[in-house]
Structure 1
């Protein structure tokens, strides 16, 4: 299960779980007999960089962002080294089957797992052209059918119009910290301990350095102003459209989407406004998204079909990629009739916001059951 923007691992944020909040959703799934992992990858990095990190995290080895990619965007080619949580991934089992995995991504994590699947299957022509085969990461070779299914939860496949608020990174981080502070009074900037994992940009936390100083160096870095190789671009409608032009649904993978919806129509303005149960920190962005339109030439057109939202992502953007994409969508019926290579849209979960769906801010048996039901769907897929 892959986290989204500002996501974290199990040993960060004072024991607060990204998946489950005060409880561990991963452990609850394990207790039901499923093998589940929650990787930690760059919380503000681009989907390309995060996909490379996810590959190394699962398979094991040193992160290789690609020679061509690294030269293009001006950061180091290599990142951290991981032992691998599933080193036999992609190997042939005793039953002669390829050892595959199911990938689930929340929010930006859905874009990241789509990017990983694309690179596994088709690799990168640019990387193969510039790099000798001896020095090329296996990820960029392609021809790997290693993924059984991809499930996205509240993912901005077409970006989020919230990005047009032009927040910048610092206000977003402070908004994120404020949300955590509401849930856990111990969390402030000084003891946030979120690892930004921007080593490739030369932004490591130094030995003995206070978290506040590390945080300030990240925020004040000029990388936010000079590159599109970060989340702040990928999450815009235009950045998502760019991603969608080359990240396609693969014909050997099952694709599923779950959507959250926590707004309703205002009887006077006909705009979408937040439901009463929406987390307070999401209300300003939800109100903005519920009435925003954009017809600027060259931009992704945003009209009232984008207004229904979960506080961060619009419903229409979370169903499947559309802008710049040729992917197809069908409505999910049951596992016996599920299709590969198309988006099987499961449903919209009503009165649930962007944070609540992963139980980051509230534990609900009904939401836990959504994950148990999803695990059962994936477990029952035809081989």
Structure 2
């Protein structure tokens, strides 16, 4: 009895600390965005531009390049949210043609994949009739008056870079394209995706979901007392209050569940909090169930690695095994305070012995290396339920020329958020990672002929003029 009380007290203490740390970090991000916007507005009002005209640059060569689409992860945001703050810490400025869509930050992988398609092609988001009925939300969502890349097709494919859950979103989207699951677009196929770069990608789930509150028994339901229950409370209240200026600044993406007080009233709030309606109901149509090992296995069972698409993965870790003993965090200074406790907990995670293992061959020790959010084994390449063709890379030059249909992967010493939000924290590693990603997309990944970059085209033209 006393032992049980001690364990419960420790769990509540850990929950309290985790809740405070996560809320403080969320407030820090939000306040940073607001402060940045206020500073920018003030600067623009004081220092007005005195230029009388703009220098127009030719965009012909730029428009010939396939766009690189950066897809954010859980709790992420795209261009236009949180003011001028960049989820990818300004990495989008490293290339001439980069798109940063704003997808639901907590919506399911399926719903985000649908949103990504219509963001690019334009039109009203169609989540699918059967899926919408099964999950209890509206079939149609946001309307994109103009797609960001309307010419997207097999002859005009796209490079995708997905961070965290964003990588799995792209994989689901590619499978949907292959299965022709978009009404009115009968010509879609898997070749619309030229390449996928997974940056700390959630390709096989994570044991962190169980630490945060997903039940390891089914990988979907929520534990009664957990961090995710607190998250659920905050999200439901946020969407129910439906404060326009606040939701325009940041949105969890659950508008198609119609949780606003204007539509559901007080009864709707109670139903959502009790789990009788909304994304947290039994359907589990939100991101966390998709990130459990069981949820990822269910997704992966229907996802292929396609022979004409190039795949590259960066798997991050912040753990080590001193003297070959137990796995521990690799240091204190190199791990963000938001993630340090989780790095330690994930490195010591053991699947409960009284319930079935998530898959045949599962071993706790395989899942101990992690980056504070995802297990390193999950980020290299699709492994469960079937392992896909893969090759480890120690130096980028070792894998050239790249071959499609193979998951090249590289292990990087970093925590889960080193390459997002705060560029200064990553330092030179930030530039090394993103420069290699964009260079690979532009110079080493192509189906027909090498691409001519805008600066190269100008150099070629100058060279021709000099010869004349």
* TM-score strictly above 0.5: yes
Deviation at 1:327, TM superposition (A): 1.6
Query: Structure 1 239/121 Cα, relative in aligned 2: closer, same or farther at 3 Å?
Result: same
Pair 274,363 (structure 1): closer, same or farther in 2 beyond 3 Å: closer
CA separation in 1, counterparts of 2:422 and 2:186? 34
Q: State which of 320, 339, 350 in structure 2 corresponds to 1:293.
A: 350
Native 8 Å contact 1:42 1:198 kept in 2: yes
Partner SS for 1:158? coil
CA change 1:367–1:166 in 2 (3 A) is closer
SS of corresponding position for 2:71 = coil
1:343-382 matches, cutoff 5 A? 343-345=407-409, 347-350=410-413, 352-360=414-422, 362-380=425-443, 381-382=445-446
Q: Give 2:390's aligned residue.
A: 329
Given that residues 103 and 150 in structure 1 are in contact (C-alpha distance below 8 angstroms), is that contact kept between their aligned partners in structure 2? yes
Residue 337 of structure 1 aligns to a residue whose secondary structure is coil
Hey, what does 1:145 align to over in structure 2?
A: 191
Higher relative contact order (CA 8 A, sep 6+): 1
- Root-mean-square deviation (Å): 3.1
Gaps of 5+ in 1: 92-97, 125-135, 176-189, 208-214
Q: Which runs of 5+ in 2 are unaligned?
A: 1-69, 215-221, 232-244, 264-268, 448-468
Choose the corresponding residue for 1:26, options 92, 117, 129. 92
* 1:43-58 to 2 correspondences below 5 Å: 43-58=105-120
Q: Does the aligned pair in 1 maintain the 2:175–2:190 contact within 8 Å?
A: no
Count of paired positions: 339
Of 241, 258, 261, the residue aligned with 2:314 is 258
Cα shift readout 1:130-164 (whole Å, capped 9, x = no counterpart): xxxxxx62468743521110111111211010111
Q: Which residue of 1 aligns with 2:137?
A: 75
Paired residue secondary structure (1:102): strand
* Matched residue, 2:163: 106
Deviates more, 1:115-124 or 1:140-149: 140-149
How far does residue 266 in structure 1 lie from its aligned partner after superposition? Answer: 4.9
Deviations 1:268-302 (A, max 9, x none): 96122252210111112111110112264252424
Q: Aligned partners of 1:99 and 1:268: how far apart in 2?
A: 49
Contact 1:327 1:343 in 2 (8 A): yes
Q: Is the radius of gyration larger for structure 1 or structure 2?
A: 2
- TM-score normalised over the length of structure 1: 0.80
1:112-261 equivalences under 5 Å are: 112-124=169-181, 137-138=183-184, 142-167=188-213, 171=227, 193-203=249-259, 222=277, 223-261=279-317
Contact 2:88–2:419 (Cα < 8 Å) also in 1 = no
Q: What residue number does 1:303 align with? A: 364
Determine the C-alpha separation between the residues in 2 that align with 1:326 and 1:137.
31
TM-score (norm 2): 0.66
Q: CA 1:205/1:267 → structure 2, altered by over 3 Å: closer, same or farther?
A: farther
Deviations 1:201-237 (A, max 9, x none): 1135869xxxxxxx99987764314123211110001
Q: Does 1:61 align with 2:118?
A: no
Is the 8 Å Cα contact of residues 319 and 327 (structure 2) preserved in structure 1? no
The CA deviation at 1:243 is: 0.6
3, 7, 12: which is aligned to 2:81? 12
Q: Is the 8 A contact 2:198 2:314 kept in 1?
A: yes
Aligned pair in 2 of structure 1 residues 81, 343: CA closer, same or farther (>3 Å)?
same
CA contact (8 A) 1:274 1:283 kept: no
